[in-house]
Amino acid sequence: MLERQEKTALAVLVCVVGIVLAAHLLFDAVARPLVATPYSEEVPDGVLVLLEGRVEEVKKTSTGGHRILTVNGTTVFLPENVAAALEIGENESVTLYGVVQTYRGKREVVVASAADIRVLE
Please indicate, yes or no, whether residues 64 and 105 belong to a single structural domain of this protein. yes
Are 100 and 52 part of one and the same domain? yes
Q: How far apart are CA 48 and CA 72, in angstroms?
A: 18
The single-letter DSSP state of residue 64 is T
Same domain, 31 and 68: no
Q: Verify that 17 and 49 share a domain, yes or no.
A: no
Clarify whether residues 67 and 106 are in a common domain.
Answer: yes
pLDDT digits (tens, 9 = 90+) for 54-111: 999 999 988 888 999 999 999 999 999 988 888 888 999 999 999 999 999 999 999 9
Please give the mean pLDDT across all residues of the chain.
90
Q: Are residues 81 and 94 in the same domain?
A: yes
In this structure, the answer to whether residues 49 and 96 fall within a common structural domain is: yes
Same domain, 24 and 53: no
Provide the residue range defining the domain that includes 62.
38-120
Residue 23 and residue 53 in one domain: no
Can you give the CATH number for the domain in which 42 is found? 2.40.50.140
The answer on 13 and 62 residing in a single domain is no
pLDDT of residue 103: 92
Confidence grade of residue 120 (pLDDT, cut at 50, 70, 90): confident
80-86 contacts, C-beta under 8 A, 24 or more apart? 81/114, 82/111, 82/112, 82/113, 82/114, 82/116, 82/117, 85/114, 86/114, 86/117, 86/119
3-state DSSP assignment of residue 52: strand
Domain count, the chain: 2
Q: Give residue 65's pLDDT.
A: 85
According to the model, what pLDDT value does residue 85 have?
A: 86
H helix intervals, 46-90: 80-84
pLDDT digits (tens, 9 = 90+) for 42-61: 999 999 999 999 999 999 98
In terms of domains, do 97 and 47 share one?
A: yes
Residue 100: CA count within 13 A, CB half-sphere: 20
